[in-house]
Structure 1
Amino acid sequence: MTSGIHMTSIIGRVARGREYAEDLDYAEAKALFTHWLHGDLPELAMGALWTAYRIKGESVEELRAFTQALEEDGDSIAFQHHCRPVIFPSYNGTRRGAHLLPLLAMTLTRCGVPVLIHGLSAPQHNDLPWADHDPSRRVHSADILREFGLASAENSPQASTLLHLQGLSYLPVDAFHSGLGKMLALRQQLGVRSSVHTIVKLFNPFQNPAVHCAGVTHPPYLIRLQEYFQQMQRTALILRGTEGECFAHPKRRPELQVCQQGTSFVWLEKDTHPLQQMPALPENPGISATCRYMESVLEGRLPLPAPLADQAICLLCLSGRCADLDSARQHLARHFSRYAA
């Protein structure tokens, strides 16, 4: 037993397989995740919970409890702005195509919307093989921003300062909560994702309301995240991400679903039209090629791909920068002389 947490009972309930596992109630789940964040659980229990939730999945009530525990325990960012900041969780990286989340982020900052990207402090390396995902072979947002000369924050106050100075900040997740970084490191030992990889898409690092942008890979999580944001009455844009990152694929716009004030609706339908022309994209997914491409777009020599423009337009509205889609399109056009919208 750990400070009132009956681990044997909890593991026995959540680890009975997809069909027979039980969901924890809010209080149990919150206490459990708080102890986990603080490293108070035995290693055997952490591994058992990790794999059990991978099989069972999380209820919306458990997601609410886990996220609330993290937000109350983390070092939140004090930041004031006339627009709601946009939050981009960025943990996967890309390897098949260029990582264009930093381009989307810089598009929004140019339009006057502050953006926070949070992710891993650095790719994790040791001698253990990666069963499902090797970050060392992927390009991450932090790599692109570093190459672009944009500073990353070392703590939450510094993140606030950078948001004021450059409109954009990258915050390593360890800087928000050191325990969360340690939890994420379990992936390499256990070989699969678990609840914490969903939680990083849901938590708000700010003291005030913000706009969440959540990209998912598996369709069932679209529904789960929608239910979560509705119940929490948070503002969010949910989409099928690109290689797990929360930016629209530059060749084909996914469905863009909005959660706002407890309701959910599709703002832009999935693009099903045949591709008329291949968009100009980086010649390879490497850091240098991606940065050169971003410079060309930001300087107006190449157009911003239409799916990214559509995503930016939605986020301009959700942040409060623009009143509706038409005014957001006009606003984007004023800042980008060329964009393929």
Structure 2
Amino acid sequence: MKNNKIFKTFIKAVGTGIKGNRDLDFEEIYEATLQILKKDATDAQIGAFLIAWRVKLETTEEVKACIKALNSLMKVNKIDDSILLGYNSDGRERTPYLFPLYEDVLKNFYEKNSDIKRLNFVISGDLLQPTKNGFGTKDIFKSFDENQYLKYIDRVEYLKELSELTSLRQELGLRTAFNTVEKLLNPSLSEYGVCGVFHKPYVEKYIDMFEDNFKKVTVIRGNEGDIEVSKDSKFWQKEQGKIVEKEFFLKDFGINIDKTFESISLEENINILKNPDKDILNLAKFNVALYLLFSSRVKTLDEAWQRMN
């Protein structure tokens, strides 16, 4: 198997132990990622490297190199006037997806606000990745059509090399660097991107990782660490070189949600989307308002909400 010996040097760099481990340089991670994607290393070697690299903790420089390698193999198809909604690849277990409702929300918005530049929502999907046992965007889209404003792209079509690692990643059963970098791969060449975060210390890292591929990146603390919100939360953007945190409260927009979800099935989520009540529709509208703000279509969240209503 070609390059097999070279790949072993990458494993040793991250898997020797605290005293022996070292950060890999840009070219090393770039090469290691290509060998993984092209299956120039064995599954055992790939698994060993991904786990050891995660335990060592990936540096921002390493992750940027990984993204560059992924970009080099990615098929791009530009979608103008768009924001990439960077849903997590490990899906949902406790809260419903809302995005199929965004189509009608946007249609109604633009009927009343023709002065606002068009905005398309781009959503990527693939088979579910570790570590949850729920369902993902791809599962939801099977029950809904692509529409005027909502665009779905399947990773098997634009980066099959990463998609084909799914079975190995599921066998490992652990989060790896790919869970991070795949949040905002940008095959649509969208100007704007948004991804979710669980823990605040990762905010700056995510923005640094992805900002080279977008005009503006937003990080938001959403449901299950994803990008949709159903309660008070925060988001972060870089403004004039500094990370700025902004908070919002649903009650300020007249939204009072009574619902709580401890777990949810795919069938239950689809039923919610096909028979949405007022609370769910208001949440969908509020999330669209956020994305209009993140895409610089409006100056404030208040403006987006007022125009929408």
Q: For each residue in 1:6-47, what CA deviation from the matched residue of structure 2 results, as whole angstroms up to 9, or x when unmatched? A: 323221111234675322111221122122211212222201
Q: For each residue in 1:50-72, what CA deviation from the matched residue of structure 2 results, as whole angstroms up to 9, or x when unmatched? A: 11122112111111111111112
* Alignment length (residue pairs): 299
**How far did 1:288 drift?**
4.7
Q: Which amino acid aligns with 1:6?
A: I
Q: Which amino acid aligns with 2:30?
A: K
Q: Identity over the aligned pairs, expressed in percent?
A: 22
1:327, 1:278 → 2: CA distance?
22
1:322/1:143 Cα in 2 relative to 1: closer, same or farther (>3 Å)? Answer: same
**How far did 1:260 drift?**
5.6
Corresponding position of 1:332: 308
Q: Which amino acid aligns with 2:170?
A: Q
Q: Which amino acid aligns with 2:145?
A: L
Corresponding position of 2:113: none
Corresponding position of 2:208: 227
Q: Which of these residues, 228, 234, 245, is aligned with residue 226 of structure 2?
A: 245
Contact 2:90 2:128 in 1 (8 A): no
**1:86 correspondence with 2:69:** no
Corresponding position of 2:120: 114
Counterpart mapping for 1:57-72 below 5 A: 57-72=57-72
Q: Which of these residues, 259, 282, 294, is aligned with residue 273 of structure 2?
A: 294
The answer for unaligned runs of 5 or more in structure 1 is 125-129, 152-164, 334-341
Q: For each residue in 1:68-127, what CA deviation from the matched residue of structure 2 results, as whole angstroms up to 9, or x when unmatched? A: 1111211111223xx33333334222222323344457645654421111121x458xxx
**1:14 correspondence with 2:14:** yes
**How far did 1:261 drift?**
6.8
**1:181 correspondence with 2:163:** yes
**How far did 1:269 drift?**
5.0
Corresponding position of 2:186: 204
1:142/1:34 Cα in 2 relative to 1: closer, same or farther (>3 Å)? Answer: same
Structure-2-length-normalised TM-score: 0.80
Counterpart mapping for 1:1-341 below 5 A: 2-3=2-3, 6-17=6-17, 21-80=21-80, 83-103=81-101, 107-108=105-106, 111=109, 112-120=118-126, 122-123=127-128, 132-134=131-133, 138-147=134-143, 149-151=144-146, 166-206=148-188, 208-229=189-210, 234-248=215-229, 250=230, 252-259=231-238, 262-268=241-247, 277-279=256-258, 285-295=264-274, 297=276, 302-304=278-280, 309-333=285-309
RMSD, aligned CA:
3.4
Q: Which amino acid aligns with 1:205?
A: P
Contact 2:93 2:263 in 1 (8 A): no
**How far did 1:257 drift?**
1.2
SS in 2 for 1:70: helix
Contact 2:186 2:213 in 1 (8 A): no
Q: Which amino acid aligns with 1:325?
A: L
2:18, 2:187 → 1: CA distance?
31
Q: For each residue in 1:284-331, what CA deviation from the matched residue of structure 2 results, as whole angstroms up to 9, or x when unmatched? A: 83445434433555xxx6145766555432320232322433332223
Say which is worse superposed, 7-16 or 101-110, in terms of deviation. 101-110
Contact 2:3 2:41 in 1 (8 A): no
1:60, 1:200 → 2: CA distance?
14
